A and B are shown apart, each in its own frame.
Chain A
């Protein structure tokens, strides 16, 4: 498989095959499906990037729709529900956006295929040790695509201010910092209040993000560092039509539980991507899906009083799906709201519990909101529900020197 990318001043290059080989088959299939989907539906290049210094483009007018079944968006929104809950894209079809409707329907089809394939693989194989990882990843992504195509249909049917999204484009910041508070309600651990800090540095297509969570009584601390290379997408100083990317991320983590007498240290590798739904049509400007897939391995060491016990090795599947929208109105560029599912089970929120038969398999569900008051100052509010509840807020600071099109900050 060859995936080409275009960057100003750089020739097309094949996506580093060595990277691709190291990720699971499921990941390659999902990424390929998304790329093929976009290529099939769009004739524009995968990434047409304009330099930050280039003059800003005027807001793109919505492509003329085909003859609509209705011009009433409320009726179209109703059609998003019936029959749209089963046939995604119904709202757009009713509004005459047939190309967008078809793209959403295909996305739903891919999602259903992944979902059914994943679940049936788990059931048919008796949750085989060899197939469970790819099958669960397919199930997560399949569910995400099905929900995304439905959500995008609803969004595009109701949203009328796509031009505002275009005006709020901005390049990725070179520097971004977070300082905040989180409360963790976990009935198994005494901690509750955490100070959260992180710093993101970008240089070219590289990103480095060290972060830490400190319990207020110092009984628990989690350090984490992420290094990422942007395979596709924008670097600081680059302004594109779409804020999407494909990153390869290498992470390291050390988590200490002093009272419980163990610590967990690990490494992880993942592919992290954001797909802008505006590729499917102008009505979807400002909506996106985040996908991440990877593998983590950790060493669990025990500090048992009076004896030395062997450490354990523990691994886990990383899979995350997020659906989000860019915020406009009074929000500055980079503001967005997102809901997501994160399959990881080794952080504070961990996996979701239910009182029924299926408990512990699922990861956590979460939502976050980034609201920038100015180009450089904002807040992050987030909440997660897993076997613990996590919620809080952070102050966000970033370099505000990057220009946005149209001259507005």
Chain B
């Protein structure tokens, strides 16, 4: 009896301990993204930069999380495989890294969906999906859009304006793509994306957490990841629970080291510090927030991007330029007169931010 009471008494402590790492489960799930095995072939996406949507003897479907993605295949038996890729850059090419040549495109549906037909013999194969200019260290532009949530029905207005922006390489997202993160909402989000001319690389927000574990990672890939585009490092972190899980924090150390000598952009959903501290729409712990900012400052991060607050804020943390842009259509903060908006940045791999602007949609 006493032993039973003892076990019950420990329960609240275990629950409380679980609450100190609410993002642990989904951070560990990041490790599963981009890997799969079947009787016919094994797939490994380098750094988990794509979600595997389908894998069978005739098709491998990927949702890309980055402009450049390397895919390794171990083929167990001869196959004719359709490689179907979504969320790709318009000019994406498939290169066979073992022979160093590009493979012909089989079909392109819209600007971000591509397919190739591969004839594979047993053995190891290595491919790269990337635009021809992905490795050039030259100036480029990207946009930032976050916090669409319940306004998904009106998002086409925003996509039309984004499509009209010249020379955007991609759209970056700081979370809250959907209202609850349920499968039907993720499906709807993907359907609406069909009209967007550029890929949308995102992490998740707290509105993707209604399901546990969140379906987001099955659909759109990792919540914590890093990619390099034209010499600039982009690190996306999962702060949807108002904290960074210690495991992701360890990954961040190596990602910061990667980008230390380059221009480095870090994006996440909930900002470490809310510029309006009494509101506390930032991290749960101000100490964790300051420790993260100190780490970013020491690594020479050039730009931090956030969502979560449905308004536009421009400020600095430890001297790092910081922007909150939650203009995807979710209930706006009333004091903010900008309303639905997105941001456009021009980056120079040699010097950092060349320009930034807010593009209002409801003018």
**Chain A interfacial positions (CB closer than 8 Å to B):** 123, 125-130, 132-133, 136, 185-189, 255, 257, 260-262, 264, 295, 297-298, 300, 302-305, 307, 309-310, 312, 314-317, 343, 345-346, 348, 350-362, 385-389
Determine whether B323 belongs to the interface, using a CB cutoff of 8 Å to chain A. no
Give Cα distance in the complex from A346 to B279, angstroms: 14
Which residues of chain B from 239 to 273 have any CB-CB distance to chain A below 8 Å in the complex? 240-243, 246, 249, 270, 273
Closest to A255 in B: B287
* A351-B278 CB under 8 A given contacts A187-B21, A359-B284, A386-B285: no
1/0 per residue, CB under 8 A from A, across B258-301: the answer is 00000000000010010011111111111110110111011000
Q: How far is the CB of A188 from chain B (nearest CB, A)?
A: 5
The contact sample of 7 A-B pairs, CB cut-off 8 A, is A187-B246, A188-B243, A312-B317, A317-B278, A353-B22, A357-B209, A386-B284
Q: Which of B240, B294, B310, B316 interacts with A261 by CB under 8 Å? A: B294
- Taking the complex as formed, is B333 at the interface, i.e. its CB lies under 8 A from any CB of chain A? yes
Residues of chain B from 5 to 21 with CB closer than 8 A to chain A in the complex = 13, 16-21
List 20 additional A-B contacts (Cβ < 8 Å) besides A257-B287, A361-B281. Answer: A127-B279, A129-B279, A187-B21, A188-B285, A188-B288, A260-B291, A264-B287, A310-B319, A316-B277, A317-B277, A345-B283, A350-B288, A351-B280, A353-B20, A353-B21, A353-B241, A354-B19, A355-B212, A359-B22, A361-B242
Cβ contact within 8 Å between A357 and B279: no
State the interface size on chain B (CB cutoff 8 A): 57
Which residues of chain B are within 8 angstroms of A130 by Cβ–Cβ distance? 335
B residues in contact with A300, CB < 8 Å: 286, 290, 293
Contact partner of A126 (CB less than 8 A), chosen from B19, B25, B207, B333, is B333
Complex CA distance for A316 and B277, rounded to whole angstroms: 5
- B298 and A345 contacting across the interface, CB-CB below 8 Å: no
Q: A389 CA to B13 CA in the complex, in Å?
A: 9
Interface residues of B in 297-347 (CB under 8 A from A): 297-298, 309-311, 316-319, 331-336
Answer whether A129 and B285 are a contact pair too, CB < 8 Å, given A262-B291, A302-B293: no
Give Cα A317–Cα B316 distance, bound, in whole angstroms.
21
Q: Does B135 contact A (CB under 8 A)?
A: no
Closest B residue to A344 by beta carbon equals B286
Q: Pick the residue among B246, B280, B287 that contacts A317 (CB under 8 A).
A: B280
B298, A261: Cβ atoms closer than 8 Å: yes
Nearest CB of A to B81, in Å? 38
Counting chain B CB atoms within 10 Å of each CB, the highest count among A303, A316, A343 belongs to: A316
Report the bound CA distance from A352 to B16 in whole Å: 10
B206 at interface by CB-CB < 8 Å: yes
Q: Which residues of the partner chain A approach B283 to less than 8 Å between Cβ atoms?
A: 345, 351, 360
